[in-house]
Structure 1
Amino acid sequence: MKSLIRRIRWARIGCILCGLLAAGAVGYGCYRDSLDTELVEYRATVEEGDTLWGIVAKAATDKEDMSKLTWQVMHDNRISDPGHLQPGTELIIHVKKAREL
């Protein structure tokens, strides 16, 4: 009976330690990604025939979510109708700086 209790206690302690280790790994991953987020500002001038998506795509990296970035550019530049961009308008685009290896 005593050895059964010891096995149960060790199993419970092992499960608790695995849970704490997993929580620590997830927490560290979130912390690490938020540390070096540096934004770079790009300025683009709208030309005849340009689309907002096309302008944003020139400044975005492969890891950017284009939908979110396009929405952010619309919000930052107070664009209510992206289908009617005026040529000559200067857009400010903030993107995350690509990490250097």
Structure 2
Amino acid sequence: MSEAYARRLTLESSEGNERPAEELIESRITADLQQSLYPAICRVRCQLNDGVLTLQGQVPSYYQKQVVQTLVRSRLNGTVVVCNRVEVVPVEATGRLD
């Protein structure tokens, strides 16, 4: 990671300790996903590394995959790239109704 990039991604937390912005962004997005009314979306995982946010998990429809993408993009600025690896696995394949 370049020094300029590392500086740009360092924020001051409320306690005055420096904390990488990537950790803050990742935890906020995870919290947002876990508040979804769709159980499958609550199980989607995210990891932010060097400006790339990777989403992983399974949802039963393309609609829910798009909901994940829209939710995540609403929380990010233009400096983060989203890699959506969420798989659409229909209910018939999983037996789950979420």
TM-score interval for Structure 1 and Structure 2 normalised by the shorter chain: 0.3 to 0.5
Rg bigger for which structure? Answer: 1
More strand by share: 2
TM-score (norm 1): 0.32
